Amino acid sequence: MSSQRVLETWVGLFMLAAIAALVVLAFKVSGLTGFFRGDTYEVTAYFDNIGGLKLRAPVKVGGVVIGEVDQISLDPNTFRAIVKLRVESKFNDIPTDSSASILTSGLLGDNYIELTPMYGQSYLKEGSTIEYTHPAIILEKLIGQFLFKVGGTQNANQPKVAATKVSDH
């Protein structure tokens, strides 16, 4: 009877370990990495327009994910978006004169932030602000501008007819 109880205990412990492993795997795959966050530092960037940028959107350098968007808020004085980025501490050699752009994965994919390192000798650290930012490109605005320009250029390229007075002779 006691060997049956030992076997049931081991099976129960194995099942608990399997369930815990599946929960960890689910969090890792879904991108909910808040529980497993390593050493990071926070950097702030101000944008005129963030488009569809969301919390936990990736922050990339050269296509490699180095962090994520941690917080998005609005500056009540300038009405610019304040985006707080969490960058992994192992990427501590990003120059302070780097620029941040909001880009889209594919044609209609999710937005992410791309950092473009420049050539400064000082590096981003906890509390740094990225000075050079490029807002999100909004597809609807581009289409609207294109249609407006196409409509405006057709009228501009048509020959102008001067009005002439016909005399009654």
Domain ranges (residues) in the chain: 1-32, 40-138
Q: What's the confidence (pLDDT) of residue 143?
A: 86
Sheet architecture: strand order including 64-74: 128-130, 40-47, 81-88, 64-74, 58-61, 111-116, 99-104, 132-134
Q: Give the whole-number percent of the chain exceeding pLDDT 90.
A: 52
Would you call 73 helix, strand, or coil by DSSP? strand
Q: What's the confidence (pLDDT) of residue 52?
A: 87
Q: What's the confidence (pLDDT) of residue 163?
A: 47
How does pLDDT run across 44-67, given as a tens digit for each residue? Answer: 999 999 988 999 999 999 999 999
Beta strand ranges found along the chain (DSSP E) = 40-47, 58-61, 64-74, 81-88, 99-104, 111-116, 128-130, 132-134
Query: At 18, is the pLDDT very low, low, confident or very high (cuts 50, 70, 90)?
Result: very high
How does pLDDT run across 82-124, given as a tens digit for each residue? Answer: 999 999 999 989 999 999 999 988 777 889 999 999 988 899 9
Rounded to 10 degrees, what is the CA torsion of 136, 113, 69, 24? 130
Q: What's the confidence (pLDDT) of residue 25?
A: 84
Q: Stretch 150-154: mean pLDDT, rounded? A: 68
